[in-house]
Amino acid sequence: ALRRVRRISASDRGDYFLGTDLTYEEIKKEGKYDLSEYNTKLIGQENDNQQLLLKVELTPKTKQLSEELGYSRLITYVDPNIWMSRKIEFWDTNGNALKTIENLHITQIDGYWTVTEIAVKNHKTQHTTRMMFFDIDYKAQIRNDMFTQQQLKRGLR
């Protein structure tokens, strides 16, 4: 929309994505976490709408990672039937509630469990983001030339 191309470096992983309440890291990881970067602990189970969820706490292994990401810990509520998070709660580096991400709708598309609706609430700003995804096609061919700077500036037609 801005007709600009911005390179996203690895150090930008805690920056917010295009005015939403999601960071580049959260967009990239889609609720999946590199367990080599976190200490993990099963802290319980919870029933949500008659569904059993595993409550798992993740804390960044290093202070540098915590500062890069902007949070000190998160709790993810994992659906053991599909091994995906239904909800993720984040705390900032001072230990205050930061935000909650809820995967409101998860469906199977082309054999892959896929989040098609996300709601995010930032507890500090009270801002919310809701994202919905349509016409998902994992089998679609994507040409490499779609990612040139010129094509990114021009946009899809």
* Out of 11-25, 51-65, 91-105, least confident range: 11-25
Dihedral sign (CA 119, 37, 32, 80): negative
pLDDT band at 122 (very low <50, low <70, confident <90, very high): very high
> CA 109, 84, 142 angle in degrees (round to 5)?
40
Per CATH, the number for 10-136 is: 2.50.20.10
pLDDT at 1 over 60: no
pLDDT at 50 over 90: no
> What are the counts of helices (DSSP H) followed by strands (DSSP E) for the chain?
3, 7
